[in-house]
Amino acid sequence: MFVFTIRRILQTIPVLFGVSILVFLMMHLVPGDPAQVIAGEAASPQTIEQIRERLGLNDPLPMQYLNFIMNALQGDLGTSIRSGQPVSEEVFSRFWVTMELAFYSMILSAFIGLIAGIISAVRHYTIIDVVVMIIALFGLSMPNFWLGLMLMQFFSINLEILPVSGWGTPEQIILPVIALGTAGAAIIARMTRSSMLEVIGQDYIRTARAKGVKERFVIYKHALKNAMIPVVTVIGLEFGTLLTGAVLTETVFSINGLGRFVVESIRARDFPAVQGSVLVIALVFILVNLIVDLSYRFLNKRIDLN
């Protein structure tokens, strides 16, 4: 497992380089001039040119990218064009808010998805199975920003029992987590059902039942553990989806997280802020995938990660 872990960590290096190149090129293809944004519409061409020179925007693109990478390797993500503050400080001051939002949403998604998927698999081809899958399809079809607006309308405006925006208190956490975690719960439920149905049909499950083992032990001790490998994979992928989905959710609920910071930085053409934020998100996503891969060994001892 140690060799596998080191190999996977080394494999993250080209992935991060690829992400950085892609984001760097995409930001430079977006119309608009950040120097113009900083200087204002009424600024003279000389002022704009001075700002471009100060920011290094007149350098060739390969040189700009090389400077960014060399600084990033030293832990320096650059200086925000919009605020003038170090990007690393701007990013990490909001990073834990987004991580909390994604983490709570992931717990909600996994909890609801696993329970719904198990019930649907155990009661397959019954009315309960049909109802659960219809609800899952409905949850999968709803964009998180639309669901967030509907939740705000009902619970915050109509009932006035939950705050309409913000983050920090338990009341402020509820609506954003539900809005962000619903689609993930639907995906996990469908995958859990499919995986459980495949495992339940195996010979060793029929043997356990024939020996008189109680049904709950058959389901939760024998079937669920072996059905969890594809489910864990989906949960890991969903965590990355939640990090990207937090962009819209944080904007809808006015949460001062990393996702909202990325949106504001894109609007302001703040190259260093966007590049630094995306690199941090990509690194977290890679680490989550590594944890998922390592968890396979604990779920099934027969899997050889080396």
Q: What is the pLDDT of residues 238-283, one digit of tens each?
A: 887 788 778 888 888 888 888 888 888 887 778 788 888 888 888 8
78 part of a folded domain: no
Query: What is the rounded distance in angstroms from the CA atom of residue 209 to the CA atom of residue 218?
Result: 7
Q: pLDDT value at position 127? A: 92
Phi, psi for residue 144 in degrees, rounded to 5: -65, -30
Instruction: Identify the domain containing residue 134 by its residue range.
Output: 87-299
Q: Which CATH number covers residue 262? A: 1.10.3720.10
50 part of a folded domain: no
CB 134 within 8 A of CB 120: no
120 part of a folded domain: yes
Compute the Cα dihedral for 197, 202, 204, 209 and give only its sign. Answer: positive
CB 276 within 8 A of CB 74: no
Q: Is pLDDT at 305 greater than 60 in this prediction?
A: no
Instruction: Give the helix ranges, DSSP H, for the chain.
Output: 2-29, 34-39, 45-55, 61-73, 87-122, 127-141, 144-151, 170-200, 203-210, 215-217, 224-252, 258-267, 271-299
Q: Span 30-51, mean pLDDT?
A: 74
Q: pLDDT value at position 67? A: 82
Average pLDDT of the residues of the chain: 82
164 part of a folded domain: yes
Q: Span 218-231, mean pLDDT?
A: 81
Which pLDDT band, with edges at 50, 70 and 90, does 286 fall under? confident
pTM: 0.80
190 part of a folded domain: yes
- HEC letters along 202-244: CHHHHHHHHCCCCHHHHHHHHHHHHHHHHHHHHHHHHHHHHHH
Residues 6+ apart with CB under 8 A from 40: none
| 3-class DSSP state of 79 | strand
Q: What is the pLDDT of residues 58-74, one digit of tens each?
A: 778 788 888 888 888 78
Q: Span 125-136, mean pLDDT?
A: 88
Count of structural domains, the chain: 1
Residues 6+ apart with CB under 8 A from 79: 85, 86, 87, 272
Q: Count the Cβ atoms, other than its own, within 10 Å of residue 218.
A: 20
209 part of a folded domain: yes
Q: What is the pLDDT of residues 94-120, one digit of tens each?
A: 888 888 998 999 999 999 999 999 999
